[in-house]
């Protein structure tokens, strides 16, 4: 039973940990490439949450900007835009703010019991009492009951502090700009609090001089990782006779739902497993921005049969996470797929405990022993 959504917290900060300065004009910390990646993450989310102070200070739209990503959401059976969510302690919100007036998505406002909310806000949003004061776990429970499986949290500092302090963040994405604010009056990424210490690096990206750091708060590999990789290993048994490696691949979304599977030789004798699986998906599918691809063998970095390697295909699809079982042996080439993916900022996880099953599927190659 799902008791709360998967929570991804995303923010852009200065080098000294500020979200903005005090000049009165919004300090732009992100680049266009970073904005595009955030847009893909929004498109892969069911809802986006910001605090009431962020609505008052920044007047955000919280919309998926790309027409292609919006169209892909609709084709996947989702609303064109994610649900918008906010939490307010006072109920003091302007119904004419862009949070309420832009986009056709549902708007949810969580308030403490008994707080008076303006009629104008009630006319454009669903107001939900969630404890007194607001209980964050009750908010997430209610969101889960409304079908929200993936929640993106975008600020501000009080909200970040609250979610992290309650241990309710599954993923953390920080875009760090090469600037200093140096003003203690400016809003910070987080305030004082007690925060999780079990963060693990999930990936690094670089957009010019801006660096994006991604973290997970759950151990890796997970039980789901092992289960899906076993599925990929088993798919190799479906491969037709081959003079090269027999490989299986599985692609899942952030909620462990299988998006596509593939195996070597599927559809075309030259196809690799990752290639066959990716060919079944729309490159604009927003779920790819938070997907994991499982391959029984390390993705190839050199091949003679096609111009684009599986490593290049994964990078082009913007899949952030790769899990595999067996490093490709020097049977044909010196493979450096894992290294290239990690260099590009992808999270690469090797589970060598499952490598024996991959070797058994490839004993037709000289030198490979189960």
Instruction: Walk me through the domains of the chain, giving residue ranges and CATH numbers.
Output: 6-216 (3.40.430.10), 223-360 (3.40.140.10)
151 backbone dihedrals φ, ψ, rounded to 5°: -115, 130
Give the pLDDT mean for 107-130: 95
Q: What does the pLDDT look like over 261-274, one tens digit per residue?
A: 999 999 999 999 99
Look-up: residue for tokens 């210490």? Answer: 197
Give the pLDDT mean for 84-106: 96
Residues in the chain: 370
pLDDT at 1: 43
The H or E element spanning position 32 is helix 32-43
- Whole-Å CA distances, 306 to 204, 260, 263, 271: 28, 21, 16, 9
206: exposed, middle or buried (Cβ count in 10 Å: 0-12, 13-18, 19+)? exposed
The percent helix, strand, coil of the chain (3-state, each to 5) is 30, 20, 50
Q: What does the pLDDT look like over 172-216, one tens digit per residue?
A: 999 999 999 999 999 999 998 878 766 888 889 899 999 999 998
Peptide bond into 126 cis (omega under 30): no
Fill in the DSSP letter of residue 150: E
What six digits make up the tokens of 140? Answer: 């997430």
pTM exceeds 0.85, yes or no: no
Largest CA distance in the chain: 75
pLDDT at 250: 98
* Percentage of the chain lying above the pLDDT 90 cut: 79
- Any residues with CB less than 8 A from the CB of 257 and at least 6 apart, and which? none
How would residue 99 be classed by pLDDT, with cut points 50, 70 and 90? very high
pLDDT at 78: 93
Sheet holding 321-326, edge to edge: 258-263, 248-252, 292-297, 321-326, 347-350
**Which neighbouring-strand residues pair with 251?**
260, 293
Closest by Cα among 15, 37, 20 to 205: 37
């Amino acid at each position: 039973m799902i008791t709360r959504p998967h929570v991804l917290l995303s923010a852009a900060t200065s080098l000294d940990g500020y979200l903005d300065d005090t000049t009165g004009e919004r300090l732009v910390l992100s680049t266009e490439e970073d904005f595009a990646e955030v847009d893909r993450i929004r498109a892969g989310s069911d809802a986006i949450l910001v605090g009431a102070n962020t609505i008052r200070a920044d007047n955000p739209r919280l919309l998926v900007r790309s027409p292609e990503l919006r169209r892909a959401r609709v084709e996947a059976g989702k609303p064109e835009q994610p649900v918008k969510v906010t939490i307010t302690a006072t109920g003091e919100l302007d119904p004419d703010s862009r949070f309420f007036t832009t986009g056709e998505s549902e708007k949810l406002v969580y308030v403490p019991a008994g707080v008076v909310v303006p009629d104008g806000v009630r006319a454009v949003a669903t107001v939900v009492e969630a404890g007194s004061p607001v209980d964050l776990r009750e908010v997430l429970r209610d969101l889960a009951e409304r079908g929200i499986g993936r929640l993106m949290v975008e600020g501000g500092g009080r909200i970040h502090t609250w979610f992290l302090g309650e241990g309710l963040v599954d993923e953390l994405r920080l875009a760090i700009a090469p600037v200093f604010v140096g003003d203690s009056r400016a809003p910070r990424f987080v305030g004082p609090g007690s925060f999780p210490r079990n963060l693990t690096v999930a990936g690094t990206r670089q957009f010019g001089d801006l660096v994006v750091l991604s973290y997970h708060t759950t151990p890796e590999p997970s039980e789901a990782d092992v289960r899906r990789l076993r599925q990929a290993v088993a798919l190799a048994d479906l491969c037709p006779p081959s003079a090269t490696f027999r490989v299986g691949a599985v692609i899942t979304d952030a909620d462990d739902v299988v998006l596509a599977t593939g195996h070597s030789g599927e559809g075309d004798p030259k196809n690799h497993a990752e290639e066959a699986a990716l060919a079944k998906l729309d490159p604009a599918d927003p779920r790819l921005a938070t997907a994991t691809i499982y391959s029984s063998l390390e993705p190839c970095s050199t091949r003679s049969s096609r111009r684009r390697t599986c490593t290049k295909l994964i990078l082009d699809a913007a899949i952030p996470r790769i899990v595999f079982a067996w490093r490709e042996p020097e049977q044909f080439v010196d493979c450096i797929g894992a290294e290239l993916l990690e260099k590009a900022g992808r999270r690469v996880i090797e589970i060598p405990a499952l490598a024996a099953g991959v070797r058994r599927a490839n004993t037709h190659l000289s030198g490979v022993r189960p």
